[in-house]
């Protein structure tokens, strides 16, 4: 049984000794599914628990290997004498335990990157610079060379919005989805969404240049009244109402409600063939009930769609897809001019 101790100096200031969250982060990185407390912080001065206390605790729990990391930058007295002395005492007290002592943090390129990020943050990076650096980090963190060029900016923007690299692998695109969505935006088609959170996140001011609007009917009084009477969700009733009353919908974007996505699929399949093949559904609802199932169903449809095969998703991811499409249109206009 392996256990890890991260040894810090300790401070007379109580609030400076709160490193357990760092230990929890390390634990999740190396033992993502583990429910035990395998990584603990120990302090040399001013604070408990001491290194000797944590060694004793882990040994009593039955640890056969204890890895000790000095949370120090260099090889000072604590790293070269104090901690090794405690380790030697531990070996004498617990001869059946293997002790491994790591190097301190030292000079490492990752630390240099962190220092540079702190400097930039203190200097007050503007939003554009922060976004630029965020996308650089995304590009450094994942290889998208196997993805079609037209998908890459969309995937990156979803990762940026969610801080979740999983979307690089879970997002799927119907072959005509991006092309049709760009055409819909440029032709001034409206974007219908399921919830207000999606509506407010979309770059509607950019959308106006082509004449399109963002529609959301979920708070419509008629929808609320029908929901109480019928037992259906407001989201699915809002989609029904919008399809009845608006013939200019080009994109249906669902970020929250699986029932709205299922209703949208049903209604799109009832459209005339020409309208059906031009409609695009962006379906990324999040949750444990029907979310994944609705997206799997969407992925089997003949009309254009963008979705992800995962329980993850939500309004930020959906907004990111739409805004990426709007930005592509805007960049194309600038290029043409």
Q: Are 178 and 325 in contact (CB under 8 A)?
A: yes
Task: Say if CB 284 and CB 317 are below 8 A apart.
Answer: yes
**Catalytic residue (choose from 69, 160, 169, 206):** 160
What pTM was estimated for this model as a whole? 0.65
Average pLDDT value for residue range 103-129: 73
* Whether the Cβ atoms of residue 67 and residue 30 lie closer than 8 Å to each other: no
- 160 part of the active site: yes
Sign for the CA dihedral angle at 220, 162, 292, 299 comes to positive
**Domain 2-101 adopts which CATH fold?**
Rossmann fold (3.40.50)
d(CA 74, CA 99): 21
State what percent of residues in the chain have pLDDT above 70. Answer: 95
> 77 pLDDT exceeds 70?
yes
Q: Where are the domains of the chain?
A: 2-101, 108-141, 146-336
Phi, psi for 4 (deg, rounded to 5): -125, 135
Q: Do domains 2-101 and 146-336 have the same CATH topology?
A: yes
Which CATH architecture best describes the domain 146-336?
3-Layer(aba) Sandwich (3.40)
Residue 335 confidence (pLDDT) above 70: no
Mean pLDDT on 217-224: 90
Alpha helices per DSSP H over the chain: 20-30, 51-60, 77, 83-93, 109-122, 127-141, 149-162, 167-170, 177-186, 196-201, 204-207, 221-230, 234-245, 258-269, 273-278, 291-299, 315-336
Which value, to the nearest 10 degrees, does the dihedral of the CA atoms of residues 233, 239, 245, 249 take? 170
> Stretch 234-258: mean pLDDT, rounded?
93
pLDDT score of 333 more than 60: no
Maximum distance among all Cα pairs of the chain, rounded to whole angstroms: 82
Sign of the alpha-carbon torsion through 208, 211, 216, 217: positive
Six token digits for residue 73: 């930058």
Give, in order, the Cα–Cα distances in Å from 138 to each of 8, 155, 167. Answer: 31, 10, 12
Centre a 10 Å sphere on the Cβ of residue 229 and count the other Cβ atoms it contains.
Answer: 7
């Amino acid at each position: 049984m392996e256990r890890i101790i991260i040894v810090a100096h300790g401070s007379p200031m109580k609030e400076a000794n709160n490193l357990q969250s760092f230990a929890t982060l390390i634990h999740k990185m190396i033992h993502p599914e583990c429910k035990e407390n395998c990584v603990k912080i120990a302090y040399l001065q001013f604070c408990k628990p001491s290194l000797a206390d944590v060694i004793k605790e882990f040994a009593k729990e039955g640890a056969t290997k204890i890895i000790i990391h000095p949370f120090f930058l260099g090889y000072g007295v604590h790293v070269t004498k104090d901690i090794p002395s405690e380790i030697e005492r531990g070996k004498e007290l617990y001869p059946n335990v293997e002790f491994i002592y790591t190097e301190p943090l030292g000079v490492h390129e990752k630390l240099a990157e962190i220092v540079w990020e702190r400097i930039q943050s203190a200097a007050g990076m503007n939003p554009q610079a922060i976004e630029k650096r965020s996308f650089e980090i995304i590009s450094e963190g994942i290889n998208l060379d196997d993805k079609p060029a037209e998908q890459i900016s969309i995937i990156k923007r979803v990762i940026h919005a969610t801080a979740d690299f999983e979307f690089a692998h879970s997002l799927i695109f119907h072959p005509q989805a991006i092309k049709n969505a760009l055409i819909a935006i440029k032709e001034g088609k409206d974007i219908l969404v399921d919830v207000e959170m999606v509506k407010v996140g979309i770059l509607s001011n950019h959308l106006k240049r082509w004449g399109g609007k963002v529609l959301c009917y979920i708070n419509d009084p008629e929808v609320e009244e029908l929901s109480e009477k019928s037992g259906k969700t407001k989201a699915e009733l809002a989609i029904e109402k919008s399809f009845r009353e608006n013939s200019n919908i080009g994109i249906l974007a669902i970020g929250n409600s699986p029932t709205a996505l299922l209703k949208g699929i049903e209604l799109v399949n009832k459209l005339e063939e020409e309208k059906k093949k031009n409609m695009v559904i962006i379906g990324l609802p999040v949750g444990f009930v029907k979310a994944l199932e609705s997206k799997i169903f969407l992925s089997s449809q003949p009309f254009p769609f963008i979705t992800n095969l995962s329980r993850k998703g939500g309004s930020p991811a959906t907004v990111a897809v739409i805004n990426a499409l709007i930005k592509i249109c805007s960049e194309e206009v600038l290029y043409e001019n």
